[in-house]
Chain A
Amino acid sequence: MSLLTVKGLTTEFHTRRGVVTAVDDVDLTVNRGELVGLVGESGSGKTVLAESVVGLVEEPGVVTADSIVFDGQRLDQLTESEMRTLRGGKIAMVFQDPMTSLNPTISTGEQIAEAVRLHNDTGESISLPAELKRKIFGAAKDTESWRRAIELLEEVGIPEPSVRVTEYPHEFSGGMRQRVMISMALAGEPDLLIADEPTTALDVTVQAQILEDLKSLSQEFDTAILMITHDLAVVAETCDRVNVMYAGNIIERAPADELFANPQHPYTQGLLASTPRANKRRKLDPIPGNVPDLTNISYACHFAPRCPESTAECYDVEPEFRSMGPDHVAACLQRDPEVSDRE
């Protein structure tokens, strides 16, 4: 059952140099409890897409969409304040750099407890004076929200939660901080967790831990995760379904196993051919050229200038999704529908 359905979403930024179409008429679906990957390189629009869904795009960005439906609710028709209650509640977010999203002057426990109070009925006052008092004089430790904060830290695998709960963000290592962010995101018992490059700033060994955590939490809480990353391997290991984005478009979508075993779009194929694998040395086949500047792109298939298979047609005719197999679509003019084993 689909939890989030985005239809025809476009996000444009009007800059002095022209219009940057960061997201170009994109559809996206996330089902309940599902782990969905959104992979792309820098400038592919993956982060802007997520920000557009939750209403975080700021001036001079303009978001238009045919519809954004989350859990039966039209997100594109919500007011800013309705959106705000949803964010951090039913839709939670985790970012690449946890340090910038944590307040360095307030204990992690109080920050989690605040999220708990805000999105749950704990019977504690969340009026401004009450919150201010907690920030200045420290949190009351005999409250429901504080106990919940300790539990949440425990759930995300932080050892000795009753000690760590009183510590400040700088006393945590990078991986621990990311766990704190995740526990805060879980405070509102979200249905959807948007994780934007959650492990990119972390070491591999820590990344492995966090990815495991995310997977098991998703199962435990039946939370869907939209995993935004540039790392194909991370997606391959964690996600059920994958969307590949390039220059503002989703160009291929398939179940993870299918995508990596049988990539169809020339960009996906190129990306896989150019990614080195640990333990296997092979000739890398890089995609020539660079990721395009998104200002006023004048050609139909955005991959055309770098595509080894492009023809004149690719510059004029916008490729629509073609079915490449069960649940597998790719947007490329050179692919015949339903013929899946074409190299």
Chain B
Amino acid sequence: MSDSSLQSDDGEPLLTVRNLKKHFDTSTGLTDRLLGGGQSVKAVDGVDLTLHEGETLAVVGESGCGKSTLGRAILNLHQPTDGTVRYGGEDITHLSGKEMKPYRQKLQLIFQDPLSSLNPRQTVNEIISAPMEVHGIGDSAADRRERVEELLVQVGLKESHADRYPHQFSGGQQQRVGIARALALEPRVIVADEPVSALDVSVQAQILNLLSELQSSYGLSLLTITHDLSVVSQIADRVAVMYLGEIVEIGPVEQIFERPQHPYTRALLSAVPRIDAADRTDRILLKGSVPSPINPPSGCRFHTRCPEVIPSSAWPGNQSTFREAFRFYNRLLHEELEIDLVRERLENEGRSTDTDTVATQLLDESFQMPIEELPDDVQTVMYEIARHLIEDNREQAIETAQGVLDSPCKQSKPEMQVSGASQASCHLLTAEVTPTISPE
């Protein structure tokens, strides 16, 4: 395979990912498969990205957002469910192992846990020369050995380290070995999956510096997957923020860090602990936990936790009261409100368990502010919902809630909106509604 066939034209990205999806079947056995009992985990659900020659794109998100799966689906290590991955114009999405081989040389991977990514029974020489053997690089073992030693020096190790075994190195050195292995094939793109998160702070910086040195000397494109925003700002040119299988915002690193458009990005940035007191901003605390990717929320996936969620047109109060009520509504929808237990608690405390007391107690526990702070007519509605629920009339409760609480964020999926050099998907960027919490 000649290299020129893979050469990208000027401006055309090296790697183009379109609408990439990876769903995992949770069905376990044969019976599950036959009966169709399994559900699918939508780990990656429609991701678009591009990676240009020589740039570093960081995919950032919290655990379970699908970022690692995305990296592996791009490398065809997980067979994508849908969508395409193009490398230099060629579709590599559904290539078989053999067809994929020439591209493997161009696309490499660095792992999070340096020790487990190295075979404990092989010497460093064997580990680093394996890719060369597989691709027929180098004429003899001695030839390859020479190259291994060269690579070791390049990643800051010593030639003599070639005969050691992985466990004889510290974590940082192991990561260097992993990097040398990835470089052995002189790839164009390296996907680095949390390359420093398993390392000690003082060693992280060594590896980050090494990566950027190598990037400029090899002209590499890096796709860094990380949860650590400090790492992102250190090495990335562009950032893609992922939430529940989707990219919610993507753009140049300065713009995203200085003027984040998406409420999730804002919350994420504000949560990062800062060493310098001057850098600290007001913290946006997210309530609740990330919903399950088996059944992601409708509309904007962030709506169950979004601090800026847009009130329904029928809402008479302000946004912050809406947010509280909306959370209550979401819990109602997910059957998380358990009347019996509330009743039991009242009983145990020796209090009455008539409908009104239970309703008050339920609302009391569910709202983090005094319920009296809600507008009067809303209070009435909330009590009505609670009463329906207590009388075992869930449908009625939901119907009542829908009338006042259906946010546009829940009803429709926001499209990516371009703003400057970045894009974000949030209704606030399109709707006439002015954000109640203005950015910064």
Direct contact of A and B (CB under 8 A): yes
Mark A residues whose CB is within 8 Å of B. 41-42, 141-142, 146-147, 150, 159-163, 165-166, 173, 175-176, 203-209, 211-212, 230-234, 236-237, 257, 260, 270-281, 284-288, 290-291
CB of B348 within 8 Å of the partner chain: yes
Q: Is the CB of B201 within 8 A of A237?
A: no
Which of A234, A237, A290 has a CB less than 8 Å from the CB of B173? Answer: A290
Q: Is the CB of B202 within 8 A of A204?
A: no
Q: Across the two chains, which residue of chain A brings its CB closest to B289?
A: A173
Q: Is the CB of A274 within 8 A of B201?
A: yes
Q: How far is the CB of B171 from chain A (nearest CB, A)?
A: 8
Q: Is the CB of B276 within 8 A of A208?
A: no
Report chain A residues within 8 Å CB of B268: 204-205
Q: How far is the CA of A162 from the CA of B205 in the complex (A)?
A: 46
- Residue count of chain B within 8 Å CB distance of chain A: 58
Pairs of residues from A and B, 5 with the lowest C-beta to C-beta distance, nearest first: A274-B205, A286-B205, A233-B273, A276-B234, A203-B62
Q: Is the CB of A236 within 8 A of B205?
A: no
Report chain A residues within 8 Å CB of B172: 290
CB of B51 within 8 Å of the partner chain: no
Known: A278-B274, A288-B206. 20 other contacts (CB 8 A): A41-B201, A160-B337, A176-B289, A204-B272, A204-B273, A205-B267, A205-B286, A209-B286, A260-B275, A274-B206, A275-B204, A276-B204, A276-B205, A276-B208, A276-B233, A277-B279, A278-B233, A279-B233, A286-B206, A290-B203
Q: Is the CB of A203 within 8 A of B63?
A: yes
CB of B227 within 8 Å of the partner chain: yes
Q: How far is the CB of B184 from chain A (nearest CB, A)?
A: 23
Q: Is the CB of A277 within 8 A of B344?
A: no
Q: Across the two chains, which residue of chain A brings its CB closest to B362?
A: A160
Q: How far is the CB of A248 from chain B (nearest CB, A)?
A: 15
A-B contact count (CB 8 A): 164
**Secondary structure type dominating chain B contacts:** helix
Q: Is the CB of A278 within 8 A of B230?
A: yes
Identify the interface centre among B201, B231, B271: most chain A CB within 10 Å of its CB. B201
CB of B336 within 8 Å of the partner chain: yes
Q: How far is the CA of A231 from the CA of B231 in the complex (A)?
A: 14
Report chain B residues within 8 Å CB of A270: 202
Q: How far is the CB of A242 from chain B (nearest CB, A)?
A: 11
Report chain B residues within 8 Å CB of A211: 273
CB of B341 within 8 Å of the partner chain: yes
Residues B334-352 near A (CB distance < 8 A):
336-338, 341-342, 344-345, 347-349
CB of B34 within 8 Å of the partner chain: no
- A162-B276 contact in complex given A41-B200, A278-B257, A284-B209, C-beta closer than 8 Å: no
Q: How far is the CB of B286 from chain A (nearest CB, A)?
A: 5
- A162-B229 contact in complex given A203-B62, A207-B271, A208-B285, C-beta closer than 8 Å: no
CB of B277 within 8 Å of the partner chain: yes
Which of B202, B269, B274, B366 has a CB less than 8 Å from the CB of A277? Answer: B274
Q: Across the two chains, which residue of chain B brings its CB closest to A199?
A: B273
Q: How far is the CA of A273 from the CA of B209 in the complex (A)?
A: 13
Q: How far is the CA of A148 from the CA of B268 in the complex (A)?
A: 34
Report chain B residues within 8 Å CB of A146: 348
Q: How far is the CA of A61 from the CA of B205 in the complex (A)?
A: 33
Residues B207-245 near A (CB distance < 8 A):
208-209, 227, 229-234
Identify the interface centre among B200, B253, B289: most chain A CB within 10 Å of its CB. B200
Q: How far is the CA of A146 from the CA of B344 in the complex (A)?
A: 12
Report chain B residues within 8 Å CB of A159: 287-288, 365-366, 368
Report chain B residues within 8 Å CB of A160: 331, 336-338, 365-366
Q: Is the CB of B274 within 8 A of A162?
A: no
Which of A42, A175, A234, A279 has a CB less than 8 Å from the CB of B258? Answer: A279
CB of B170 within 8 Å of the partner chain: yes
CB of B158 within 8 Å of the partner chain: no
